[in-house]
Structures are given as structure tokens and as C-alpha cells.
Chains A and B, each alone.
Chain A
Amino acid sequence: MITFMNNSDSEDEPCNERTSLMSAESPPVPSYQDGLQASETREAQTHRKRQTGSSRSPNNVADEDTSDLDVRVRESALENEEEELTLKYGAKHVIMLFVPVTLCMIVVVATIKSVRFYTEKNGQLIYTPFSEDTPSVGQRLLNSVLNTIIMISVIVVMTVFLVVLYKYRCYKFIHGWLILSSFMLLFLFTYIYLGEVLKTYNVAMDYPTVILIIWNFGAVGMICIHWKGPLQLQQAYLIMISALMALVFIKYLPEWSAWVILGAISIYDLIAVLCPKGPLRMLVETAQERNEPIFPALIYSSAMIWTVGMAKPDTAAKGQSQQTWDADGRENHSSSSHSDSQILDTRSPAPSHPITLEEMEEEERGVKLGLGDFIFYSVLVGKAAATPSGDWNTTLACFVAILIGLCLTLLLLAVFKKALPALPISITFGLIFYFSTDNLVRPFMDTLASHQLYI
């Protein structure tokens, strides 16, 4: 999920904050629930100021007129400023998310193109029991649809279970589950990945060295993700974990099932986030009621907060104890990865007194994207890279399509300022571009290239 929050997480030490602080000064924006009230208080304040100003010279009617005009001009100036800052920050956030998404995709594509293990078919997951080795096209289609139905229902059940646990405050259970999942991901999957990479490049390595490397990698990862760590290291670990998970999906999902699952999951994402009774929307609302950070696990955060000279009560700092948990174990990757597929936009709660532009606090509005989104984007691009024809144009086209979809989604986020699903637009564009590039553009470009023609 993408959260457009003032509160980011997990960076507490002052020296790290000072070095990685991005210079941004912004007037604090009231949360969208209290947005109307805050703007009214602001208007009332300026109006009161103008009133006191005009009451000093009660005879001067012209003075009152100009003061009203001043109020209107000032309000429109505030609005313009607000809009401009929103757009500027919107653009900055888009760029801040492009880099990790691109890195994840690059890792996945590089692995797919070089390590043959991830394109070999060695069985399927239990979530997709129907095989696609059938003689007829209709049977294959039916099997893939059935696989999709099973997979999506598993995801729905897991998500609902997670929401129920969250609602009844079983935090310890959730913590334990996520720690177990991330443990398995960081150790077992990394070990398999390292083994396959070493096999591909024919590098000999002894077991003690492997144990040392995996142990260090895994232990540092667990600490960074579940406790404290430098922001960039945490981001790097989250990207690596998403890439590993995406690789598992690419290997074990059969061809047609993968595409149907991608389509179905973006529809599910849309429903779950936007419908009033959708599980993810309920999750968002519950977390907002409790004034907690929205489901802190499995979120990639792009910035951190450093409040200096706070002019309002420390409500922002209260919500900072979240750490970004990441866990995608095999059994529960479907739920956890899926529950983050949404974009959220939360601002800090409205301060107790209106803050004028002079009393600014230094903070950075961070953007957060759920790891499930990373995973499914990478699955799409990885599948495009894994096609037997080995066409790079398809991969590039899907990559551009996904980034444009992300851009549009963030634009909608800036406009609507509420929770939005991150998957549908990008996956739709990605699917359209994959199928059209693979079937239309590839023969055209191949024919042109064989005659060495340039367009």
C-alpha cells in the first residue's frame, strides 16, 4: 500500500536523521478527516484578525472592503500555495518510489535472464494444484481459471484472518507470524538463491563460508526490518525480499495461471480497498480510529520524520514506534503480501491550535508503498522477461507501462487524498503492453531489425 504520511518510521538516531534528511519545509496539512474543520479555523482566525483590524477604524468603510478583499486574496493564496506544494511533493514522491520499484525489477530481470533455475518448471505450489500440461486450449484455460480462484480465495481468507486478528488486538500473534515469515524468507530463500547463482557462474564455495554469509545477511536483515537500522539498509533489505518473493512466484506459477492471477488480484485489490466492507478498507479505518500507523508491517517507506521545534502536541512522535516488518513466508505470503496492496494517504491529526505558516516544523512527508505491490510488479516484469523468445522489448515496454501506472496512481492519490489501491492501473497497463508488445510489436521490430531498418 502506498501511504502518503507525514509519519515515517524507524529512524530514531539524530546523527542518521541529520545526514539523510531531505530539505523540505512544508506547512502542516490537516488530516483529511479534520480537513474541513482546520480550514474553517484558519479562515476564522484570519477573519478575526481582519475584524479586529477593521474595528480600530470603524468609520472607514473602504477599509473594511479592502480587508475583506485581503481575506479572500490571502485564502486563495493559501490555496494556491497548498496546491503547488501538493503537486511538488507529489512529483517528488513519484520519483522517490520510482527508484526502489526500478531496482526491484532490475534485480528480478537480471536474475531471470542469467540464472536458469527460475525459468525451469519444477512443480507447482499447492495453491495452484491444476496442471497446465493439457492437450486442449479450453482445458488449459479452465485449469488456469480454477487455479486463480483457489489462489485468490486463499488470499482473501488470509487477509480477512489478518484483519480479524488486528481488530481484536492480537498483536503478539501477528508479530510472531511476521517474524517467522521473514526468518524463513531471509534465510531459506536467500540460501537457495545464493546456491543457484553460484551454480550458474560455476563458483566453488565451501559450507562454512556460506553459513557465515547467510547468517550475517539474515541476522542483519531481521534486525533492520523488525527493530532499528539505517533507513537505506532497511530499504535495501525490503527490496531484496520482494525480489526473492517475486522470483518464487515466477518459478512456481504456471504460465497462464500467472497472467490470470495478476488480473484477478488487481480486481480484488480494487474491491478490497474501495468497497465499504472490503477487508483492507476496514483495516485502514480501524487503524485510523486507533490513531495507529496504518498496518506497519510489510511497507516500504521512502522517508523519515524529524520534528524540530514542534508547535503542536507530539502526536506525530507517538506513532513512530512502528517498524517496518517484512515477512513473506511461503504459507502466508499471499495474505501479507496482498494486504499491502493499497495506497493510503494519512496526515497527522489536526493540531490543537491552528498553526500559521510561520510556525513550521521540519518534517518530510514520506511515501509508503506496500511490498505486495513491489512483488506483483516484479512478477509481471519478470514473466515478461522469462518468455521463451527472450525479447527485451517486451520487458522494457512492461517496465515503462508499470511506472506510468504508478505515476498515475500517485497523481490520483494527490487528488483524492484517501486510500487507493496501487495495483489496478499499473497491472492493467502492464498486461495490455505485454500482450500487445509480444504479439504485435515483436514481429514488426524483428522484421525491421533483420533488414537493419530504423524507424
Chain B
Amino acid sequence: MRPADCHISHDSDQTAASATKNFPCCMCDLEPRQTAAAADGSACHCCVILNLQILSGSAAGVPRLSSLFSLCRAFFWLVSLLLASLVWFISVHLSDQGNARLQYGLLIFGAAVSVLLQEAFRFAYFKLLKKADEGLATISEDGRSPISLRQMAYVSGLSFGIISGVFSVINILADSIGPGVVGIHGDSPYYFITSAFLTMAVVLLHTFWGVIFFDACEKRHYWCLGLVVVSHLVTSGLTFLNPWYVASLVPIYIITFCMGIWAFFTAGGSFHNILKCLSCKQEDDSRVMMYSALQVPFED
């Protein structure tokens, strides 16, 4: 039984047959009551895909070397998740498994440990990246490394967000393909769509946190670091209010928006930049060409 099965009902005799496979049911016909689930599922897919398209469009200009770094970042996140799962697993097995409240408490504890470990690994990755940056700078011909630290911060946050989002949502997506009815046992029927929105928020948040975190570590503004960690904990805590979505989704999106603005200003943006960017089509063409002629491409 997949966890999403709690929220989706299947024909009971199909469940037994499908115990060996992931999909709840492959062979039964799609009945009218199941088309609602299909619509929800497709909306969920669209949200996630839209989110990823936005982010991949923004990441299109990133040079190849940073795709290596983003893979390392994903690996670090996986390791942090592994350690947190280990802690949770041990705590669960050492405790009384019948006590539901205790188990819920242990789950909260596990989630908090996971958040703290993620931030710790983000810091460790920052240290590693600094070393790599220095190494690349010393051996490059003009003393500068091919990727700026800002770019690395962005890529690091983005890859953290992508792997975190994908791990959260992919099983739900896979289950949403199969026929079924969402929430027939009294759970919320908006499970898929809210999962999609939450995942999108998580991905964006990690990207913004990455930028802010790296900048804070560079400038040694430790209060910024603390704020990032606290906001991560708060966001994770807000999801505990699900399925009371008004109380969880709205604040999370407010936090996302605030973090976005903060990250924008941290990365050096300003209103002037926005105006210049929006009106850049009317810019003098010769000036643009001169600038690109001056720049020596470091990578292809």
C-alpha cells in the first residue's frame, strides 16, 4: 500500500492483485467517478511541470561545470536524508510502536532532525565549494574561476530544491496516474493539487535559501543564517497543519514571496535593474554588441 492509497480508494479486489506492482490498477476501465481523480492528477502534473519549466528556463544559461556541482549537491542532500532517516528509524524501533501519539511525536522529531541536517550539509557544501573555487581560481589563467560564487549559490539552491521536490512528489505523481478516487474515506479531495503547490513552494524556497545562505556565509552575517534555518523549520512545521490548507499553504507562500524578494536583493538586484531589464529591448544595439565583444567567454 502506498501512502497515497490512504487518500485514494481503489476497488478492493484490485488492491490485492496489485500488491506486487506499484500502480494501483492498470487493467480496469475508467469509470465516470474516476475521471475526477484523473482531472486532479493532471492538474497536479501541470503544476509540477510548469514549475520545473520556469526553473529550467532560468537555469538554461548556466555553464556545464555547474551541472557537475548540482549533481554533487543532490548527493549531499541524499546523504543528509539518509542520516535523518537512520535517526528516525532507530528512534522508532527503540520505542513503543503501538503508541500513535508517540509515533507522531517521533515523526516531528525526525522531520526537525532532517531539516537541521539539510542545513548542516548546505553549510558543508558551501565550504567544499569555497575550496573548489579557490582551486579553480589558482589554476586558471587570469586568477578568476570560471563560475562566480553567486552562480554557484543559485545552482546549489536550485539543485537542492529539485532533488527535495522530486523526492517528495514523485511517488504521488506515479500514484496519480492510476485510477481511483481521491479522499473518499474523508480525507481532503485536494491532495494532489495541494501537493503540487507545496512542492513548487519547496523548490522555490530552497533556491532562495541557497542564494541567501551563501551570501550570508560569505559576509559572515550569522543572523541571516539563523533566519534561514528558522524559516526552514517554520515552513516544515507549517506543513504539519495539513489538511487545513488555508493555514499552511497561504503562510508558506507568503514566506516564499518574502524569501524571493530577500534573495533578489541579496543577489544584487534592484528596482533599477528590473526597469532596465524590462526596457532592454529599446537599448542601443551597438552598446550591447560592444559589451559582448569585450567579454571573453570562459566556457562554451
Q: Is the CB of B3 within 8 A of A400?
A: no
Known contacts A91-B64, A400-B75; A441/B85 CB under 8 A? yes
Docked-complex contact A83 and B3, CB < 8 angstroms: no
> Binary interface profile of A, 10-43, with partner B (CB < 8 Å = 1, else 0)?
0000000000000100000000000000000000
Interface residue stretch chosen among B43-51, B162-170, B210-218, B269-277? B162-170
Q: Residue B227 at the A interface, CB < 8 A?
A: no
Q: Determine the chain A residues whose CB is within 8 A of the CB of B136 once the complex forms.
A: 87
B170 in contact with A396 (CB, 8 Å): yes
Query: Are A440 and B89 within 8 A (Cβ)?
Result: yes
A433 within 8 A of B: yes
With A389-B22, A396-B167 as contacts: A450 and B6 at CB distance below 8 Å: yes
Residue of A with least CB distance to B298: A88
In the bound complex, CA of A404 to CA of B79 (Å)? 12
Task: Tell whether, in the assembled complex, residue B239 and residue A452 are in contact, meaning their CB atoms are under 8 Å apart.
Answer: yes
B127 CB–A CB distance under 8 Å: no
B191 touches A396 (CB 8 A): no
State whether the Cβ of B114 lies closer than 8 Å to any Cβ in chain A. yes
Residue of A with least CB distance to B26: A116
B52 beta carbon closer than 8 Å to chain A: no
Whether B64 pairs with A453 at a CB distance below 8 angstroms is no
A 403-438 to B, binary, CB cutoff 8 A, 1 in contact else 0:
110010000000000000000000000000100110
Pair B168/A404 contact, Cβ less than 8 Å: no
Q: Which residue of B22, B88, B242 is within 8 Å of A444 (Cβ)?
A: B88
Write out the residue numbers on chain A whose beta carbons fall within 8 Å of the beta carbon of B78.
397, 400-401, 433
CA distance A393 to B19 in the complex (A): 18
Is A448 part of the binding interface, using a Cβ–Cβ cutoff of 8 Å? yes
**Complex CA distance for A451 and B194, rounded to whole angstroms:** 13
Known: A396-B166, A440-B82. A453 touches B171 (CB 8 A): no
Q: How far is the CA of A418 from the CA of B91 in the complex (A)?
A: 47
- With both beta carbons as reference points, the residue of chain B lying nearest to A444 in the complex is identified as B85
The majority secondary structure among interface residues of chain A is helix
Question: When each residue 302-338 of chain A gets 1 if its CB lies under 8 Å from chain B and 0 otherwise, what string results?
Answer: 0000000000000000000000000000000000000
B172–A393 CB distance below 8 A: no
Contact of B67 among A95, A388, A433, A441 (CB under 8 A): A95
- CB pair A451–B107 under 8 Å, yes or no, is yes
A95-B67, A444-B88 are known contacts. Are A392 and B171 too (CB-CB below 8 A)?
yes
Residue of B nearest to A389 (CB): B22
CA distance A349 to B217 in the complex (A): 48
A80 in contact with B139 (CB, 8 Å): yes
Complex CA distance for A439 and B82, rounded to whole angstroms: 10
A153 proximal to B (CB < 8 A): no
Residue of B nearest to A388 (CB): B20
Q: A441-B81, A446-B3, A455-B115 are in contact. Are A91 and B68 (CB under 8 A)?
A: yes
The answer to whether A441 touches B82, judged by C-beta atoms less than 8 angstroms apart, is yes
| B148 nearest CB across to chain A (Å) | 16
Contacts of B86 in A (CB 8 A): 436, 440
Please indicate the chain A residues that have their CB under 8 angstroms from the CB of B21 in the complex.
116, 388, 390
Inter-chain contacts of B235 with A (CB < 8 A): 454
Q: CA separation between A407 and B172, bound complex, in Å?
A: 30
Contacts A23-B300, A95-B67, A404-B72 hold; do A446 and B88 have CB atoms under 8 A apart? no
- Quick one: which of A57-112 are within 8 Å of B by CB? 80-81, 83-84, 87-88, 91-92, 94-95, 98
Given contacts A397-B78, A400-B163, 6 further A-B contacts (CB under 8 A): A388-B20, A400-B71, A433-B82, A449-B168, A452-B242, A455-B115
Which residues of B approach A to under 8 Å, CB–CB?
2-4, 6, 19-23, 64-65, 67-68, 71-72, 74-75, 78, 81-82, 84-86, 88-89, 107, 110-111, 114-115, 118, 136, 139-141, 163-164, 166-168, 170-172, 174, 191, 194-195, 198-199, 202, 235-236, 239-240, 242-243, 299-300
Question: Can you list 25 A-B pairs with a CB-CB distance of less than 8 A?
Answer: A23-B300, A81-B141, A88-B299, A91-B65, A91-B68, A389-B22, A390-B22, A391-B171, A396-B170, A400-B71, A404-B71, A433-B78, A436-B82, A440-B86, A441-B81, A445-B85, A449-B3, A449-B168, A450-B6, A453-B107, A453-B240, A454-B239, A455-B114, A455-B168, A455-B236
